[in-house]
Structure 1
Amino acid sequence: MSALELLNAYLKRLEARFRLAALVRGLAITATSALAATVVIVLAANWFAFSERSLTAGRVALFLCLAFALGFGLALPLTRLNRRKTARDTESRAPEFEQRLLTLAEKQAAGEPEAFLELLAQDTLQVAAAVEPERVVKRPLVIGFSSAALAAVGALLWLIFGTTGFMGYGARLLWAGPPRGVEQPAFYDIRVTPGDRTIRRGGSQTITAELIGFEAAAVRLFARYRDSAKWEEAPMVQREGSSAYEFLFAGLPATVEYYAAAGRIRSKTYTLTVVDVPNVKRLRVQYRYPQWTGLPAETEDPASGDLRAVEGTEVEIAVETDRPLTNGQILLDDGTRIDLKSSNGNWQTARLRVERDGVYHIAAIDRGEAVRLTDDFFIDVQKDNPPLVQIRRPGRDARVLPIEEVPIEVEAADDFGLREFNLHYSVNGGPEKVVSMLKGSGARESDGEVLLALEEYKLVPGDVVAFYASARDARSTTRSDMFFIEA
């Protein structure tokens, strides 16, 4: 190969080395700029509680930052890199060339005769032999820029996918946007219940606001009636022992829009739609107790609709309204709905079986939504407890003479009445004898005493009398502890 060809090959190696350095430097600038811009933009968006406007502005700023970094840090240096610039940069880093490389590059570009260029190349090759391309563009420089780029990309990926808190939340929204098809909860939010709701005219509704992801010294409720253009403001009261805040709309006369606000955060706007529905005048309750209780059915006109009955009772609730009610229901706290059926006049009736404690209320169905007609009423279930039975005297093991008379006192009680109440005893493991202690079937309490004459059994020292009491109600039997009398 001629000297000129060898020098051209040398220049190509230099240009490739400079291009690699420009590439890794541009990537490091772009990655670092992306990381820094992400952090700054997320901090700014966090100040505005990640509102849609702040995120949109942040995405625009991030795009512009990346465009400038790619343009001025990567694309421009690569496009400006040519043989003349390679020669000039090499001369600045290796002065021993004494402008030979730059002169050769310029003369080649100007179309100088090849004989002249060959002589110049021979002279320049002697210097190039001592100046390797790795000396001009040093390896630590390339490794440093590469490491910086990888570190910035790794930190950005960790920020987007690996970290929690507002920084990770904001980075994910900034780069990927909200997940499609899935409603992602806001990082900062005011959760308001009941949200949109239909209520009867003159009814009351409690609004609850819960702060999500932040704290505030005060929470305010803003409301605007449909026939008004002005938003009215009122403070919400913190619920005792809770972080939630409450406000009561009492006796609403018309439809109202409302939202809650705390600091820079505000909730969505909701609507309480007021409709005209019948009012409940009074309730009547009929209890049909389980057959095993032996209790007759009874009807009450309670001051409220609270239900108190034994487990398994069937309750018929009759509701009288001030005008005909269509599509009325009883709504239980477990989500169960029981339709009210028309009866005489403006009466509606429904039946439910009492199985557990809970609450219920009466509602009218208006355009598919349940409109509350009453406050919550309690359901208080009385469980059937097993009988209580005990030996009151002697209440413990005893040692007596074989000729003594030993009094044994027993008592029993049951919430729905005793069916059996007996004293059981046996001598020296013999046949068990049973003495009924029940004063009357169905009694809720009973007691009695038995005088045990030991001489009738001709006991000798060492003989033992074992005794216990039992009580039975309609569903279960209970036994007392067993005691022993030793002669």
Structure 2
Amino acid sequence: MKDEPPPSSPVIEMLRRAGAVESRHRALRLVMRSLVWIALAVPLLMVADILFHFSDGVRLAGSLGVAVALVLVLAAAAVIAFFARPPLLRVARLLESRDPSLGSKLVNLLQLDADARSAQGSELTRELAGQAVQQAARSVDSSGFPVLARDPQRFRYLGRAMVLPVLLGLVTLFGGADARREWLRFLDPHGDHPPLSFTRIEIEKPEAGTSVLYGESLLVIAKTRGHIPKELFLTARPEGGGEPFTVAMIPRGEGIFVAPLEKIHQPLEVTAHTRGESSRSQRRRIDLILTPQIGPAVVTIAPPAYTGQPAREVPFRFTALQALEGTAITFRLGSNRPLGEGKISLLTAPDQSTDFPLLPAPEGAADSATASLTATASGRLSYHLVDIAGHAATETPTSTLTVTRDQPPSITVTAPERDAFVVEKMRLPLVIDATDDYGLRSVRLHVGIDGKFGEPVVAEFDKPDVRRHRVEHQLDLAAMGANADSEITVFAEAVDTRPEPQMTRTGSRRMGVITEEQYNEYLRQRADVAMIAGKYENLLARLQEKVEAQREIEKTLKELQEKQAKDPDDKELEEGLAKAFQQQDDLNHELEALAEEMSDFGREDPVYDFEKELQEQLREQAGKLRESAKRNREETGKALESGPPPSEPPTKEQLDAMAQAAQEQRERLEGERQEAEQNVQEPLQDLAQLHELMKDFNLFKQLEEQQRELAEQSKAYEEKQELTPDDRLAMREMGAKQRELGRKLDDLARKLEQDAAAAKEEFPQAAESAQQLADAIGQAGMPGMAREAAQDMLEGRADGAHPRAQQLHEEMEKLFAENGQPGLEGVQQGMDQALRLERGMNPGNSFRQMMQSLNFRPGPGGGSGKGASGMMASGSAPGDTDVIGGESLMDGPMSQAMAGRGDQGGAGMSGAPTARIDAADSGKPDELSSRRTTTPGSSSLLMEYENIADAYFRRLTTEK
């Protein structure tokens, strides 16, 4: 049996413990040394990332590599520290090297211990070795072996190992966001941590948390700092795996770049970066709002087929709609989202609503829905939009629908404007205007004479959308067999295109037929010579325009002559001559047209007999105008025939001949204008002056008749002892009229003096008669007597009012004691003498005709009397009845001059800018007309004509 080895001595045990300490320190040394290289690898990786901008994978690999290295080092250190034990001999030598006082005791002790344990030695040897071990152990203090086994360089290794981590910590601490971002790039490789770069990019808009509507566009704004790049790109990555896309951003200066993102349909993550993504911004998320929005809307309105109107499509802003009954209405609403099933509701009553489906068209866009309805009832429309996912729009717009009805047509007799008298043998134009809101089917004109109607004049329309139509029809009175005292009745009918037709009929327009002489009698009361002269003045004014046009042509040719003298080859000469020739030719045509008008000027039976002489003068002037135009045409034609070829400038001879012809034409026209002025205008001016005098006498006669009426009416109150309130009111009313009459007498006296002074040179006898009448008014003190009588009336002194009024009437009546009217014989003699001896004109019945005028203009005192239709007139003017016969009464310089001088108001013509009593116009607005369209009363036209005849025609017609 073998002997067991002796137990280990305490020294051996302490050596073992010292070996364990040495292993732990060796592991710590490994960690400290490795930590230096691992810590160095971190900044190296960061610097490399800054330089090369590693991808996420590379950074992840780098981070994992550092972590793995650290783990491996720590694992190796743990194995060394806890499992690896150095040999005791190595520990002994380590301890002996660190403590020289031990010498070689520990090595020897271990040798002896080995011998004592060796199985080859003898028992004595093992025993002696064991004793030697124990003896040596007693001589060695082994308690300090674990401390002595500690690495004396451990703090140095620790200091070296901590340098780089501390530096990294300081750099991180004081390096700001950039340093922290670089740590984050490795600690969170897949996070949103842009690499460090000299170009720093930041997305300013949209801000974080921004949401946009589905399908909306967005402007991305990026701002750069540091090194400003020349170009910048925006990369958008759709959520859900869509294909990312990149667009170039647009520079806006100062480091600002913008890029629009159109029609966003998915949440996006956008990044701004340089080419190659060496510099980029943080990613910015853009979310979507999926609630559908109501976008552009259009409405298609298709009126019923019978209207003939095409369907029209218009933008719809959810405002009021108006449509004809039966119109098909189609709404098309757009949205930012693909749409599902919505509806349009029509509320026609509080408890009555109709829904119409609002659906996308199968072949149309998914973001557009349509709904159709037929307009049958008015109501309120509401629009409910739903997208394909079932999301309802937040807004529900509304609008009103107003259904209109097809109105009956409108039709009127435009010309003549109202009931009228028309001269026999006229060709009377009738104008019928019909309108309808959706279309006319037919218009019929009915014409009857003395109650007998023939076939109507019918206008029918094939087109369904004829909304306006004018029927112009001429009535040939002679061909119809109409004569004086006949009555013509006209009315018209219009039918529209509605399936259930509607008809409208005008009232009857009645026209009584009168003779030419009756028409002239009517005009003589309404007009005067100054107004009749207007048409002659207009004709002469147009002749003067032709003179001025000829002067301009002459001036143009003289300028061409001067230009030709400076530069015979001037290319503008040919163009200028051609233009002047064309102007001259046009003027010659205008002269011939004017001559034609002069030849046929006026009516065969004019208002005044002296007009026949004036018309003869105009016919002579017309012949001279024709001859002048013909002569000029021949002379200019010869000048052009002798000229150069058309491609060359005109010669001096050609221009001289043209200029000479133009000058001679101008001289002839000026002579003809002067001759026309002497033969036509001057007689008219003289007669107009004389006519003012004659109207003064007429006005005095009217005032005398009015004074007689006042005297007669005031007598009713003369014998009353006490006046009732109504009596006093009547007296005050008469007093106002009496005072007005006194003012008119005063104005008339002054006007007589003015008119006498104006006519003194041409008509001395007439002027003397007018002055005598003015003197008689003043000498008798008639205005004063009128004022005294007016004062008595106003103050209710009936016993004094009548005598004074009667006295004034007697004074006025004295002047008519002989020959009916004072001074008129001298006026007639002066007129006849002036026309026969000085003008060589036959006056005929002109004096009697002129004496019929009741056209009294306001006088210098602002009188308000209106002749036959004025205050206290004995008759009444035809207020709403025209007399149509072809005569034009126009304001001209002569009439305006007479109106400026004025006398005392007129028979419906005073104050009017212009009046026309002529053939019925064709319905076109006439700037020379002061007539208004009114509908005559239903009273018999013949009875109205009888009243007019009593007042104006002196019973030219007889009662039926």
Normalised-by-shorter TM-score class: 0.3 to 0.5
Based on CA coordinates, which of the two structures has the bigger radius of gyration? 2
Higher-strand-fraction structure: 1
TM-score (norm 2): 0.24
Greater percentage in helix = 2
TM-score by length of 1: 0.42
